[in-house]
Structures are given as structure tokens and as C-alpha cells.
Structure 1
Amino acid sequence: MRRIGITGGIGSGKSVVCRLFQVLGVPVYDSDARAKWVMAHDPALRAELIGAFGAATFTTEGQLDRTYLARRAFQDPAQLAALNALVHPHIGRDFEQWAARQQEQQHAYVLKEAALLYESGAYRQLDQIITVFAPSEVRHARVLRRDPHRTADDVLSIMGKQLSEEEKLQRADFVVYNDDAHLVIPQVLALHEQFLRATG
């Protein structure tokens, strides 16, 4: 079973591309959603988070206080690096367990969706990488439409923390252009057929 990573900057549309692969029956591991779940439910990680960021990381009801954690971590690059260093190894193990279950079900290939695929080192678990590409001005406009609570400066700040699109393109094995000038579905279908042939 091949493991294919899929990444792209904020607003590139990688979640839309992943949904198309899911329609084709391909299992997709959503790193962001799983990270939230693991942070809330993994006892070892909970203890590490409390040790690093304080008891207020979790509410009195035991729920992860994402607002508090974001305020602590995302304002300080050193704190953000510390948070990622704690979380990413747990997510790596969670992905390995998930992938093993998919292999038991004899899937030809699976996708791992992650915005920080390279930054986290998660690409090392994968056979090939897809980058979903859209120009920065298109991505910026999409995020502002999608997330009305964000300001233009918020979006630029997030983009600045992610690996450049140029480097993602250079490191990618495959590119899906989601730039409003290319049809996405034919690109996904072509990749799906290629992956099936490679594992058939």
C-alpha cells in the first residue's frame, strides 16, 4: 500500500481535492483533525502539554482550551516550535496505526493531508507528495471569503509561517493546479488512475 502525502498553503484547496479522492474510495488521514483529537484524548500528550504550557491548557472539565493554547503558542516562535515538537511525534504514531488498519482492508493507496507536511517531518513517512497549488492572491481572497473572522493581516501572517509555494512545488512529485484556471476533477482522476496502476 502506497502512502501519498497531500499538502498546500492555506487557501490552496487541498481539503477540496482530498474530498474528491474520498469520493473515489481513497482513505484520507486529516492531520489537523487528528491532531485536535489526539491532543484532547492522548494521556501522555496531555501530560506533556500541561508540563509545557501549564494547567490552563485544559479546562476544569478536562477539555483542551484551544484559545489559551493558541494565545500561548502562536505569538512566540519558540513556544510554537515547542508545541510542534510535542504534538508531531504523537501524530506520526497515530498515522502509522491508521495506515496499518487501511492496509488490512487492502486499499491500494492512502492520502495523508497536512498543511505542514515538510515542516513537521511527516513527509518522511510517505512515498510521494502531491502539492495543491494556487497563487497567493487567489489563496488570500479565498481565505477571507471562507473565514470572515480573519483579517487580511491574519492571512498574510499564516502564509508567512508556511513553507513557500515555490519550495513546495520544487519538492512535490505531483501538482494539482487549483488556481481557477484549471479543472481540478480531471487532474484528480488522472492521479488516481496513475496510483492504481503503480500499485496494481
Structure 2
Amino acid sequence: MQSKPLIVGITGGIGSGKSTICKIFETLCHKIYYADDRAKWLMNNSNELKSQIMDLFGESAYSDNLLNREFIGEQVFKNSALLEKLNAKVHPAVREDSKNWVENNADEELLFYEAALIFEVGSYKRMDATILVTASEELRLKRVLARDTYRSEGSIKQIMSKQMSDAEKIPLADYLIINDEKNAVIKQTMDIYDQLLNRHK
């Protein structure tokens, strides 16, 4: 009887390079659950979640049956309590969706779960292992400004301020990848990969 897959969380602050690490694991033919992407999909496609969001924000929460991200963003920016209420609706939906995803991929050796807030929302407690991707705040800011040209420096720093610092997250993580353009990321990732495969045996 095959053992169940090892569930591995991949996390890090905005601009740390989580997607780079995910691409390496995808190249190795492993499946990855992108929590933020699934959350967006669920907010647009789950009738139950859409109803809950409209209860919170009113009919303006959706435009042409799609989430009105600009409107929602304005509302939660003005009212942090609304953001907490929104997260209280979205996080359980993502948790249930990811649980189904794991069940549907039960024959895999390793399954990866990518999310920015694994430690902040406590989902790391449901993982078998976690990988934290780090980089300096200066480098992360530079990366996000280059990638997301619609974001201002102030808005990026605001996102960073709402995330736990690397110093707080490092003690919680099982593995650490330093993605600072000085250390070889592929070698770090492959070393961790070998350890994960050994853990699954």
C-alpha cells in the first residue's frame, strides 16, 4: 500500500521568489496548489462564496459576474475589520478546496502548497514540511516594482508590513532558501528536494 503524499508548504514574503522555486518543482513533474490563484478562482466561481462576499460588500462586489477587485480593495483599505471578515470567508473555502485537491492527488509522492501567508494564518500546521524563501526587503521591493508596474512603492511596503518578518518565520520553517542572487537557488532547492524524498520513504 502506497503511503500518502508528503504535503510541503512553500512560502515567503512578497517578491521573495516563491514562484521561482515552484517552477523548479514543476520541472521535476510535481503538482503545486497555488492558494492565492485558487482563492481568486473561488471568489469568481463558487456560488456560496460569492453570496457571502455580496452579503459583506453588497451587489457592487461583483461587476458582470466577476469580482470587482478595485471596489473590494478600496473597501478593505478603508476598513481593516472588513478585510478580516473577508479573509474569514475566503480562507475556509481555500482550505476545503485544497483538501479536495490533496484527496484527488493521493497517489503523488510529494504535493506542494504555495501561499504567502502560510505562517500568518496557521495553515503550516496542516503541512508535513515547510520551505521558506527569503530575500532582503530592498531586493524584494525592487523585484515587485519591476514585476507589478501598477503597484506603487508605498502599496508594496504596506503589504510587507502586514506580513510576518523573515526573523519571525525562520524558526517556524523546516527548510530555508536564500534567494538573494548570490546563493545558488537551484542547488539549495535540489538539496531540500533530496531530503523531502528521503522523508517520504
**Where on the TM-score scale, by shorter chain, does this alignment land: which range?**
over 0.9
Partners of 1:19 and 1:75 in 2: how far apart? 36
Aligned to 2:32: 28
Q: State the distance in 1 between where 2:36 and 2:178 align.
A: 22
Partner Cα separation in structure 2 for residue 170 and residue 197 of structure 1: 22
- Structure 2 vs 1, CA of residues 86 and 134 (structure 1 numbering), >3 Å: closer, same or farther? same
Q: 1:16 corresponds to which letter in structure 2? A: T
Aligned to 2:6: 2
Counterparts of 1:120-199 in structure 2, within 5 Å, are 120-199=121-200
CA distance in 2, matches of 1:193, 1:102: 21
Contact 1:84 1:120 in 2 (8 A): no
Matched, 1:92 2:95: yes
Q: Structure 1 vs Structure 2: percent identity of aligned residues?
A: 37
Displacement after TM superposition at 1:71 (Å)? 1.2
Give the unaligned 5+ runs of structure 1.
none
> Of the candidates 54, 78, 92, which is equivalent to residue 50 of structure 1?
54
Question: What letter corresponds to residue 126 of structure 2 in structure 1?
Answer: Q
Instruction: Decide whether the 8 Å contact of 1:45 with 1:90 is kept in 2.
Output: yes
Cα deviation for residue 74 of structure 1 reads 3.1
What code does the residue aligned with 2:181 have? D
Q: Deviations along 1:119-139, whole A, 9 cap, x unmatched?
A: 222222211111001011111
Aligned twin of 1:74 = 77
SS across alignment from 1:95? helix
Unpaired runs of at least 5, structure 2: none
Is the CA contact (8 Å cut-off) linking 1:133 and 1:178 kept in structure 2? yes
Query: How much has 1:14 moved relative to structure 2?
Result: 0.5
Where has structure 1 moved over 2 Å in runs of 4 or more? Answer: none
Task: Tell me which amino acid in the other structure corresponds to 1:170.
Answer: P
Q: In 2, are the aligned partners of 1:28 and 1:112 still within 8 Å (CA)? A: yes
Distance 2:16 2:39 in 1: 20
Per-residue deviation, 1:33: 0.5
TM-score, normalised via structure 1 length: 0.95
TM-score normalised according to structure 2 size: 0.94
More displaced 10-residue stretch of structure 1: 93-102 or 138-147: 138-147
- Aligned partner letter, 1:171: L
Matches of 1:35 and 1:9, distance apart in 2: 18
